[in-house]
Amino acid sequence: MPHPIVKIASLALAPLVGATLFVATPAAAKVDEPFSVFKISNVKYTKKAKAGGWIKYSFTATNTGPHAADYYWIGGTLPKSVDTKKKLYWTGPKGTQCDWLAREFWCWTPHILEADESDRLTIQFKTKKNTRGYQYAELGAIAYDVPTGAGDLDRQALKELGLKGWIYTKKVRTLVVK
């Protein structure tokens, strides 16, 4: 399922605060249950790193249902200290593609994630050399409720339909020392 960077950037630039993001038209006042609820688990991360050193995150995003997820991304917001001039390395399910824009890092897979199936993602990056103190990141998944056949609609058409999206994240922190 190809997703241009424009779609990802528009989703990723939404603040990842709390566990829910609602994208809806003014007419859609009632909040419904999501098609796919994600559970973020097996979160492993670097607890302490040196300035200019590597930080590694890995986590599992499980679709707990009740329906299959066919319009979702896994990734998150990296710490403010991420060195955007250096390379970022990632591993995920076969066929996974990722985009990195500023601190936002989102990946999508070519398959549909059925209920009770999981995707695992590992991200590794360097911090800036002048970084000190605690650095925070949010890792998780974004899922949109897109009806069958609407996956190729542009962002404006999806907005006019009043489709909703949810963000499920876990917050992690790494202490960066001299």
DSSP secondary structure code for residue 31 in this structure: P
Short-list 86, 84, 69, 73, CA closest to 16 = 73
Provide the domain count of the chain: 1
Name the residue with tokens 């939404």. 14
pLDDT of residue 140 exceeding 70, the answer is: yes
Contacts within 8 Å (CB) and 24+ apart, 21-24? 21/142, 21/165, 21/166, 21/167, 22/164, 22/165, 22/166, 23/144, 23/159, 23/163, 23/164, 23/165, 24/162, 24/163, 24/164
Please tell me the distance from the alpha carbon of residue 164 to that of residue 34, in angstroms, as a whole number.
8
Residue 155: the pLDDT is: 54
| pLDDT score for 135 | 93
Residue 32 lies in a domain: no
Could you tell me the pTM of the whole model? 0.73
Say whether pLDDT at 123 is over 80.
yes
Give the domain range for residue 98.
5-24+38-147+154-177
| CATH number, domain containing residue 113 | 2.60.40.680
Question: Which pLDDT score, from 0 to 100, does residue 169 have?
Answer: 92
Residue 158 has pLDDT above 90, yes or no: no
Average pLDDT over residues 145-160: 68
**Can you give the length of the chain in residues?**
178
Residue 115 domain flag: yes
Residue 106 in this model has a pLDDT that exceeds 70: yes
Q: Give the mean pLDDT of 110-118.
A: 89
State whether residue 66 is helix, strand or coil: strand
In a domain, 114, yes or no: yes
Asked if the structure places residue 161 within a domain, the reply is: yes
Quick check: is 30 in a domain? no
pLDDT cut 90: percent of the chain above it: 35
**13 within some domain:** yes
pLDDT at 56: 94
- Contact (CB, 8 A) for 11 and 139: no
Compute the distance between CA of residue 118 and CA of residue 144 in angstroms, rounded to an integer.
Answer: 17
For residues 137 and 112, is the Cβ–Cβ distance under 8 A? Answer: no
CB count in 10 Å sphere of residue 164: 20
3-class DSSP assignment, residue 5? helix
The mean-pLDDT minimum among 20-24, 46-50, 106-110 falls in: 20-24
- 138 domain-assigned: yes
The answer to the question of residue 29 being in a domain is no
What is the pLDDT confidence band of residue 153, given thresholds at 50, 70 and 90?
low
The pLDDT of residue 13 is above 60: no
Token duo for residue 141 = 């998944």
